[in-house]
Amino acid sequence: MEVRAILLIAAMCGQSYQITGFGFLDKLTGAAQGIAGGILPGSQESYSCSRDVRKDFQTAAYDFTLRMYNSVGYYNKDHFVISPLSMWLSLAAVAEGADGLYQQQLLTALNLPEERCLREKYYQIALSREQPGNDIKFMRKRLMILDQSLRLNTTWSQYVESMHLLDTSRAPIRGNLQAVAMQLRDFLGTTSFPNLNGNSVLVDALDYEGLWTTAFPEARIEREPFYNEEGQKIGMVDYMKINTHVKLAHLPVVDAKVLVLPVGHNGRYRMMIAVGMTKRGMRSMIEKLVSSVISEVLSVLQESLVPLEVAIPRFNFNFEYEASGMLNEIGVGSLFKNPEATWLVSYPPAQPSSYYQRVAVKFDTPGVNALPSPRSALMALNPITFASDVATGLASAVGRDFIANRPFMYGLFDTDSNTCLFAGAYSHPD
């Protein structure tokens, strides 16, 4: 008898809806893949659980990040901050409870392999990117709230919670909508009143605060104008200023110059900030972003020959948005439209009404280390590096300073794998 029919009969008879058949389904999947392996060349190799997936994960993370970045930027006038990696993990958790064709659609949209053992490697890499300490704070919440009337598949919920993909919670969504909405607002720290038309909702939140590797001097905070792409003054900003050796790149493909500032102990993270060099605008820059841009930045970064003037706004930014429409645009729409997509999450199937994310970031002056004296910084220059920098011609391409006094893009990356933890765009003073 078909597994679905067995579970349906059990549910109708009042039995607790607890699928112990994940292992059974895995065996069926494994058997099918084994058969395919005997027919299709190379299938056995792709199914190997020992395969190194680091490059594949990086591609999947970049692809999802850029698609969401482009979509959110289009709808929010280039002033936003998002954490696509957290959303990717939540959706991966739901995909683990999707059925048949719908699971395949979700895995494809997330660039995840069909083999669970390989997917788990992706999850382990993603979840190890954020290492909080006394220099960095990542306050993260990921949650799926389901109506109390649903019979939760405990095998699924225990799996996604044990893998740290997603927490689950029960609430009377259908019985006391306003109370649940208020609880959700408290959880997210948001002012929005969430849409709870369905029987479940996905939410996540990130609060970030980090120390630069080298502090900005408090004495050099100056309030100066901020401009739009046309050069018109649109407000005043408190700029954090520093003179130091920095890593810069010129990226003609997006008409921008890029600054990389190390964050945390030993520069274990890095903040990339990109300012456009023409009047084409931020929208044009975002549309030109592709996965190869990050790799290109890393390959062409050059350390400045002499200390350069750097000025970036000091700000606290809290951004919240509802993402179901944007996720529909990138191939994840079945999750919100078709109950069959979450048939293995609960009975009746959980059908999320929405996906809410809130991200708050803080750009401030403190750092792990004090700014070195100009003399000690100059003495630290390597003569070989000195000579190679003379020949780069970097100054002719990007100038002799980095002043973020017009719209710019930014993102935090872990130095080990260059995974983007959050990304945003700043286009006007708050």
Expressed as residue numbers, the domain containing 176 is: 3-210+318-362
Share of the chain above pLDDT 70, in %: 77
Same domain, 204 and 216: no
Contact (Cβ atoms closer than 8 angstroms) between residue 330 and residue 68: yes
Q: DSSP states of 268-335 as a string?
A: -EEEEEEEESSSS-HHHHHHT--HHHHHHHHHH-EE-SS-EEEEEE-EEEEEEEE-HHHHHHTT-THH
Contacts of residue 318, Cβ cutoff 8 Å, sequence gap at least 6: 189, 358, 359, 360
Supply the pLDDT for residue 289.
Answer: 66
- Predicted pLDDT of residue 288: 66
Q: Residue 90: pLDDT above 90?
A: yes
Pick the closest to residue 422 from 307, 319, 314 (CA basis).
319
Spatial separation of the C-alpha atoms in residues 300 and 168, rounded to whole Å: 44
The answer to whether 411 touches 424, Cβ cutoff 8 Å, is yes
- Does 78 share its domain with 109? yes
Residue among 306, 289, 315, 313 nearest 248 (CA): 306
- Domain identity same for 322 and 308: no
Same domain assignment for residues 169 and 276: no
Q: Closest Cα to residue 357, out of 67, 43, 38, 89? A: 89
261 and 381 share a domain?
A: yes
According to the model, what pLDDT value does residue 189 have? 73
Q: What pLDDT, in 10s, does the model give residues 166-197?
A: 999 888 887 777 777 777 777 777 766 667 77
The CATH number that applies at residue 247 is 2.30.39.10
pLDDT, residue 395, reads 55
Q: Which residue has the higher pLDDT, 283 or 228?
A: 228
Asked whether residue 287 falls in the same domain as residue 355, the answer is no
Contacts of residue 229, defined as CB under 8 A and 6 or more positions apart, other chains included, come to 276, 279, 280, 281, 282, 406, 407
Listed residue (409, 290, 323) closest to 71, CA to CA: 323
**99 and 171 within one domain:** yes
Domain count, the chain: 2
Range from 55-59, 95-99, 293-297, 365-369 carrying the lowest mean pLDDT: 293-297
Residue 93 confidence (pLDDT): 96
Do 268 and 157 reside in the same domain of the chain?
no
Q: In terms of domains, do 81 and 226 share one? A: no
Question: From the centroid of its chain, how far is CA 143?
Answer: 16
Q: What is the CATH number of the domain that holds 189?
A: 3.30.497.10
Same-domain status, 301 and 392: yes
- Whole-number Å distance between alpha carbons of 425 and 291: 17
Q: Are residues 95 and 47 in the same domain?
A: yes
Do 108 and 174 fall within a single domain?
yes
pLDDT in tens, 28-87: 333 333 323 332 334 444 457 899 999 999 999 999 998 999 889 888 878 999 999 999
Give per-residue pLDDT as tens, 309-351: 999 999 999 999 999 888 988 888 888 888 778 889 999 999 8
d(CA 113, CA 380): 47
Spatial distance between the Cα atoms of 189 and 359, rounded to a whole number of angstroms? 10
β-pair partners for 311: 241, 403
Mean predicted confidence (pLDDT) in 154-176: 91
pTM of the model: 0.82
